[in-house]
A and B are shown apart, each in its own frame.
Chain A
């Protein structure tokens, strides 16, 4: 079909998603076997925002991120990054996987892991030059890990490992940062260091999306939330969407009423 003809059809569905959002997901369904983990989810991430993806265990939070990145293949649906298909915009995304997904006994140093973030810049054969090393060191500095550059990664604590992962993402110099449970099992100092870095990224106009578990910190860390329990439950600013009503819908009966009261929620 010619382009003009398509334009003339007006209301006809087109294979394009009309958005320039850093990450726009449409009709995404992912299933493991016969059970949909993510079902028909739409998501539109606002540029320059910090969004928490929230939901109970097994609600499809990580899977949604992985599907958006093409790491798992969806049964239906698509994702656009800055209005382009994933392939054309990969260089604008930095991804921080779950810490536990990696073999930390791998024989490599901290600085080498950060240099992995420069993979796209270095390509297959370009040599690592002083400027690349400087960049990697600067990223380590930013997460407070410069003293550990030459350590073997297996010698790090959980929180230190997480910071190294964040440093690697920083080295990618992306516009959209996708983090899978960045605060899981880290110490308080690390949590503060990470959130400081993420907030400074936002102030530079970057977009941050993180799978998040701890409901008590949502309000102080993030400005937008995306509630999911297989289906999307709500999406919006913390004030609009992070309400007792919506949380009830997300968590079902699993969240005790007392727990909800303790959260600094907006009046629902």
Chain B
């Protein structure tokens, strides 16, 4: 394919897809190891009410208030889950399910009740995202990558995903050691004076940051799939955390690129006229990768003596 077609139409959506996938997969490694995989599920559901509330409060469909609203909702949901879990003595899974369905219901209701028909804000968009539309109209070919004028016309979602990814990497780099220690052995970490609770909340908030930025661009399906599938598949490839992180990045990139290509081009090859949902296809590919890993990966079985 020529650069004239690829760069404006496919480069940016693909790049955004890849960056969003990596931003979610990195913290996803810790969520999966901490048996908190479904926190990712919960976060991605509550992003919708957050965005709706932000819109109702500000009347703007702008990135900043929406991201703030989504982050706020993520924080509210984390606090709510913890509160229900502790106050009601409810098991975490149920507390999570209760919280995110309620917040999601509230979001849907608000959306239906308020006059948002004029703006581009609907449930479908929240679920599927709109990766295909993030094109770079100012680009005319590979040369545009060096053209400041054209670069100024890059879709703003790209910048936000980059910032989120930098935030995620920065957090993991800075708090790598305490995160590892507290994930492996929480009571030892506490005895060392590590504030494990605060660290856990920080991890979830960083995951929420990634979710919000990715959601903005690609919808919530990718968010859940990328939190869980690449790290889960990566866990089956290796027995070392550092390697697992690397594998998860590889799988996330692979899912995003292949998913985007299949969604955009496979239907055309098969004789259909329109492309299918890229977000859905990326999630599907990540699932196929996980299935392959579950069948063939070298470290797919549990090992060693049970800890009793």
Contacts and interface: CB of A to CB of B under 8 A. Distances in A.
Interface string A105-135: 1111100010010011011110000000000
Name, among A66, A103, A109, A122, the residue most crowded by chain B CB atoms within 10 Å (CB to CB). A103
Contacts of A123: 177
A102 interface: yes
Majority secondary structure, A binding face: mixed
Interface in A70-107: 70-71, 87, 90, 93, 95, 97, 99-107
B206 to A, nearest CB: 15
B185 A105 contact: no
Contacts of B186: 101
A152 B303 contact: yes
Contacts of B305: 104, 156-158, 161
Interface string B77-90: 00000000000000
Given A97-B185, A107-B241, A71 B191 contact: yes
A66 B178 CA distance: 19
Contacts of A161: 305, 307
A101 B190 CA distance: 13
Contacts of A122: 177
Contact of A69 (B184, B190, B239, B302): B190
B184 A154 contact: no
A125 B176 CA distance: 8
B304 A155 contact: yes
Contact of A124 (B178, B188, B303): B178
A154 B188 contact: no
Given A107-B241, A161-B305, A95 B33 contact: no
Contacts of B284: none
B307 A104 contact: yes
Majority secondary structure, B binding face: helix
Contacts of A100: 307-308
A120 B192 contact: yes
Name, among B176, B187, B193, B240, the residue most crowded by chain A CB atoms within 10 Å (CB to CB). B187
Interface string B153-194: 000000000000000000000111110110111111011111
Interface in A130-152: 152
Contacts of B190: 69-71
B99 interface: no
Contacts of A70: 190-191
Interface string B209-229: 000000000000000000000
A70 B188 CA distance: 11
Given A93-B191, A152-B239, A155-B303, A103 B184 contact: yes
Contacts of B191: 69-71, 90, 93, 95, 97, 178
A153 B180 CA distance: 14
B183 A106 contact: yes
A106 B184 contact: yes
A152 B181 CA distance: 16
28 contacts: A70-B190, A71-B187, A90-B192, A90-B193, A95-B191, A100-B307, A102-B307, A103-B33, A103-B307, A106-B184, A107-B33, A107-B235, A107-B238, A107-B243, A108-B240, A116-B180, A116-B188, A119-B177, A119-B181, A122-B177, A124-B174, A124-B175, A124-B177, A152-B303, A154-B304, A155-B304, A157-B305, A161-B305
Interface of B: 33, 174-178, 180-181, 183-188, 190-194, 235, 238-241, 243-244, 302-308
Interface of A: 66, 69-71, 87, 90, 93, 95, 97, 99-109, 113, 116, 119-120, 122-125, 152-158, 161, 168, 178, 185
